[in-house]
Chains A and B, each alone.
Chain A
Amino acid sequence: MKRVSLAVSLAAAAALSVTAASAQTLKTIKDRGTLSCGVSQGLPGFSSPDDKGNWTGLDVDVCRAIAAAVLNDPTKIKFVPLSAKDRFTALQSGEIDVLSRNTTWTISRDTSLGANFTGVTYYDGQGFMVKKSLKVNSALELNSASVCVQTGTTTELNLADYFKGNNMKYEVIAFGTIDEAVKAYESGRCDVFTDDVSGLYASRLKLANPADHVVLPEVISKEPLGPMVRHGDDQWFDIVKWTLFAMITAEELGVTQKNVDEMAKSDKPEMKRVFGTDGNLGEQLGLTKDWVSRIVKAVGNYGEAFDRNVGTGSKLGIARGLNNLWNKGGIQYAPPIR
């Protein structure tokens, strides 16, 4: 019933609030003392709670970085787990300040939802997972298959396009949450489970015998995943956007969680601008001069966060690929901090 209550609260908010979208997200968060961050209901590597209720993941680290920059404390966050269907409504209704929930950036989402994407935290693409025992080597061999998918996603639309485009028949069974879809796939209701490739690796970890399942080589779509904020507050939009850029810039400059204090003392002009010993770039954002140090101290640079959550340092073991820096063969790129 969460879905309905969200929609109703949106309706109520839209109908009763006298002023339109407040342009005061930053002030609201500071007064409240916590950042409200919309995350997934449990996707290992991106956002999932452990047995003590601590959230970890790449999407979670983006929230922690924002909280560190704004509140100087990466733990002052209220995580709001959302299904794919509820996520935009939660953002529109003001229940969350930022949506950091493996959400694909598309034009229609940018234009019609009253929200904006602030950047790309992970360049992904959609793939398929099948049981090894089926001996399928390519997605083009999936004619007549039953496919489990999470409803309300771009995945569901790409799936329809792909099978239609290749003149293949299929049966789609769409579930409200990723866990229900994975459970149905595991029980044999479906031959195929489809999701973003990173999501496939993450979900495979939850299966009883991960080794019995294989991710097919085809990547059928572009899925740039990133955080979203509401329209109407450009300052907050800038803060969320530049938090991610700060993490990427830190990696470019070789600033890590360990050496950040040392690097902050650097005399190089670029370093001085980034760490706020020269100029007031952070204050212009509405933050403090040491905003970059705060972010890197809290979660490390982008590369560290990637490795720790989804990369070689994690159970997922996904290669950097497209998500490497632009000067190392990937496409992650931050505009200059100056």
Chain B
Amino acid sequence: MSIAPRKPPSQTLATLQRALGGRSGWSGFVVQLLFAAILGWLAYEIIANARANLQAQRITAGFDFLRNNAGFDVNQTLIPYSGADSYTRVFVVGLLNTLLVSVIGIVFSTILGFIVALGRLSPNWLLSKLAGGYVELIRNLPLLFQILFWYLAVLGALPNPRQSISLFGLVFLSNRGLIVPRPIGEVGFEPFVVAVLVGIVVAIALWRYARKQLYQHGHVVKVWPYALGAVIGLPLIMALVFGAPVTFEVPVLKGFNFAGGSRLIPEFVALALALSIYTAAFIAEIVRAGILSVHKGQMEAGSSLGLQRGTVLRLIVIPQALRVILPPLTNQYLNVTKNSSLAVAIGYPDLVSVFAGTSLSQTGQAIEIIGITMGVYLLISLVTSAIMSVYGWRISRSMG
């Protein structure tokens, strides 16, 4: 008679128990279940009660209004929009405007922030003091004040369209914004774009080849003339073969405003400027702190290898500093998005202005609209955080 080995207890069950109940096992699971049930009941009560009260006061509720015609116009739309479109489209128009100004703000504040931080750390006394002064001045003034300053004091002081500042009769700057010629695609447009793309791919391949040669064989291969030739030369040949890829529609003063051309409205410029400049001051301090957190021995080691200051920063210090910089930098990116809602003060048609503002008062459906708007900001913030987390994870992985 053989003794059957005792079967080990089922691992899956144990895992499940741990996951659901934590350390206290099944009793913990019951507590969690109860807690979730209470939360669910509370949420249900709140929603049901709100519905009943709205109905009792005969306030229209629900999301049907999203299909109704908005009836008002918006002065900057990235997608075609007119007053005959629905509130859903207004929502998309506002959301795109918010995203546009946020992305522009994030890009420029990051660039400016890094420059200011490096300036502040620079051994050059004047540069360092200037950068320090910038940070102290900008971050201590309220953002709304800065937005109004750019909008009313700077851009508002520009001349009217009839006396606009003209650059070669092509570009016009006035208190209606910056008007530039609009490119219109011609027959040669597609081959031109293809040539540019091919040129870029070739340039990247050349650069990777050069790097491989350097890392594996220690040869320095000069590739930039070929890369430049590919990026500029190929499109040039295409343009010669197929004719000019684009022609330009030159803006002309007609009536009160310019007709034709593309336009950057002053509301957008003021908001993007103020957001970039304001956030750059905070990013500069974050970057400075990150760089200072890298042991100065790293800098000295780099110098003793004969590398220049810029190269040491770029190859040795900043990659290590990024680990410290990224989490607070993410915060600043989230702030840019949220701060862009101050747009309403200067009439820039962002999400809060056209949806949580105009649409809300035209329909009166505050609960629904504020709910949607809060959800959207939450989503934008979570997506931004997620992207930054992935980036941070890749950096720490690459450094081992």
Contacts and interface: CB of A to CB of B under 8 A. Distances in A.
A146 B361 CA distance: 23
A144 B255 contact: yes
Contact of A14 (B54, B267, B344, B357): B54
A8 B354 CA distance: 19
Interface stretch (A85-93, A259-267, A314-322): A85-93
Interface string B66-89: 000001111100000011000000
A151 B361 contact: yes
Interface stretch (A185-193, A213-221, A272-280): A185-193
B373 to A, nearest CB: 9
B383 interface: no
B247 to A, nearest CB: 23
Given A10-B367, A144-B255, A152 B358 contact: yes
B133 to A, nearest CB: 29
Contacts of A231: 57-59
A287 interface: no
B56 A21 contact: yes
B257 interface: yes
Contacts of B345: 175-176, 180
B109 interface: no
B353 A92 contact: no
Contacts of B266: 189
A161 to B, nearest CB: 8
Interface residues of A, number: 61
B75 A171 contact: yes
Interface residue tally on B, bucketed by range: 35 or more
Contact of B58 (A10, A18, A114): A114
Contacts of B347: 148, 151, 173-176, 180-181, 184
B357 A112 contact: no
B370 to A, nearest CB: 4
Given A114-B58, A189-B176, A231-B57, A11 B256 contact: no
Given A7-B367, A191-B256, A151 B353 contact: yes
B307 interface: no
B171 interface: no
B198 interface: no
Interface of A: 3-4, 6-8, 10-11, 13-18, 20-21, 84-89, 92, 109, 111-114, 134, 142-146, 148, 151-153, 156-157, 159-161, 164, 170-176, 180-181, 183-184, 187-189, 191, 230-232
Given A85-B357, A174-B347, 17 more contacts: A3-B357, A13-B53, A14-B367, A112-B60, A113-B60, A144-B259, A146-B256, A146-B257, A151-B358, A151-B361, A159-B73, A171-B257, A174-B75, A174-B353, A175-B345, A176-B345, A189-B156
The 7 closest A-B pairs by CB, nearest first: A152-B361, A20-B56, A114-B59, A144-B255, A112-B60, A114-B57, A160-B83
28 contacts: A3-B357, A14-B49, A14-B54, A20-B52, A20-B53, A20-B56, A21-B56, A85-B361, A87-B361, A144-B257, A145-B256, A152-B360, A152-B361, A156-B358, A157-B71, A160-B72, A171-B257, A174-B349, A174-B353, A176-B345, A176-B347, A180-B345, A180-B347, A184-B156, A187-B156, A188-B160, A189-B175, A231-B58
